[in-house]
Amino acid sequence: MKRELILGGALANTRGAVSTEEFLNFLSLQIPNIQFYQLRPRPKTITFAAIDWQAILTTAASIIYIGEALWKAYKKFIKPIREKNPNSSADLYIHIKTEKEKSEQFMIGKNFDNKDAFIKAFEASVKKLGQQSINEKKMYVCKEEIRKSDIWIEVKRTPSTSI
């Protein structure tokens, strides 16, 4: 049976220098076989979310390829901010979960500034989470909340010549 995990994240402390839409379009073009969802809060509501985007992936997917795409996104969007301002705390926050109780998280830029170290840690975390016992009913509910939600909007890929 294929195991599914939920990959999510946020552009942390970028102070508007990068839009989530631009970031997700880049990622969705890098990894076209994964569907991304962006958080779009309801009008006139306050949302306290640490995660701005999510994707459902199978542990059968090429984890190294996904890690590589996340690193490319870091280099394209976050690293220039950090290079322009050495005191910047801009990071790419990544969160992988199977259920609410089982998750791993990374801060590329803060905890990882080396591609190989990040890829190795990312791959190990995905493998570990994929091997743990998962309550399939809870995972189904979680995935359906994303897919059918009115606040998690499916990202439409827009080809760009700047990639």
Kindly report the pTM of this predicted structure: 0.84
Q: Please tell me what DSSP assigns to residue 17.
A: S
Tens-place pLDDT, residues 44-69:
766 656 789 999 877 666 787 899 99
Contact criterion met (CB below 8 Å) for 50 and 10: yes
Among residues 111, 110, 4, the alpha carbon closest in space to that of 57 is found at: 4
Confidence of residue 32 (pLDDT cuts 50, 70, 90): confident
Domain boundaries along the sequence of the chain: 4-154
